[in-house]
Structure 1
Amino acid sequence: MSEVVAWVIATIVTIPLLGWYIIYIFSAKMSKNKSKSIQRASDWTTVLFMIAVNFIIVELWAKSFLWVILAVFFFVALIFTFIHWRLAGDIHVGKLFKGIWRFNFLLFFMTYLFLSGFGLLLRILS
């Protein structure tokens, strides 16, 4: 049984789109609200996309750039905090964190798609 659980977790981490879809389906069935389900799935799989981007980078270049991924995450947080402070004059932590988290989802989702395509093309041409 533990092997099955390990296989499911490994699959979801290495294929975060599958994890996103599973969370979306589960949330949509429970809440009956598709837009909230998309948001929940995106929020819950941000870390999966970050890990997947790291694994793809390791596979392509045989080096871990986890520190760069974390630096990008915190740089985005810094920029968002500064912009939020300049526009609102006051920092609303919940709203700020949600914006940071969702922007990072979009950033790492796009990076995941780009690196997946790049890796496929690289393997086809070599």
Structure 2
Amino acid sequence: MTDFLISSLALVITLPFPFLFLFYFFARKWYRHKQKAFHQSVTVTAPIFIVSVHVLLFVLFERSFFAYIIIMLLLLLALSVVIQYKVHDEIRLFKAIKSFWRLSFLLFFAVYSSLSLFGLINRIFFS
């Protein structure tokens, strides 16, 4: 049973795109609203993309970038809070965390896509 759980977790971390589409499909059936399903999918898959970027960086460059990822996440949170303060003149923590989480999904989605393409090109042409 534990082998199945570990294998499933490894599959989700190494291939987050199919998990994103699968979760979006189930969320769309559950909520019956495309935008709400998409936002829920983003909320659930953001940590998966963060961990996937860390694993991909470790595989490609053979060193850990975990501290840099944490620093970047903290800077994103600070940026989100500052932007909210500038726009609304007050800080609503829940809204700031929500926008931070969506922004981190976009960032790590783009980084994961770029690193996957880089790794693919690197393995095909330079190995």
TM-score band w.r.t. shorter chain: over 0.9
Q: Aligned letter for 1:41?
A: S
State the Cα RMSD in Å.
1.1
- CA distance in 2 between counterparts of 1:57 and 1:9 reads 18
| 2:87 aligned residue | 87
Of 115-124 and 89-98, more deviation after overlay is shown by 89-98
Equivalent position of 1:69 in the other structure: 69
Q: Give the 4+ runs in structure 1 shifted more than 6 A.
A: none
The number of residues matched between the two structures is: 126
* Superposed displacement of residue 29, structure 1: 1.4
User: Partner of 1:106 in structure 2?
Assistant: 106
**Are 1:29 and 2:29 counterparts?**
yes
User: Structure 2 CA distance, aligned partners of 1:42 and 1:54?
Assistant: 18
Query: Aligned residue for 1:18?
Result: 18
Q: Quick one: distance in 2 between partners of 1:4 and 1:60?
A: 26
Deviation at 1:81, TM superposition (A): 0.8
- CA–CA separation in structure 2 for the residues paired with 1:79 and 1:42: 19
Give the unaligned 5+ runs of structure 1. Answer: none
Distance in 2 between residues matched to 1:63 and 1:99, nearest whole Å? 30
Query: Any idea what the Cα deviations from partners look like across 1:13-66, whole Å, max 9, x if unmatched?
Result: 111112211211111111111211111111101111011111111111100101
TM-score, normalisation: structure 2: 0.94
Partner residue, 2:43: 43
Report the AA paired with residue 23 of structure 1: F
TM-score by length of structure 1 reads: 0.94
> Secondary structure at the residue paired with 1:100?
helix
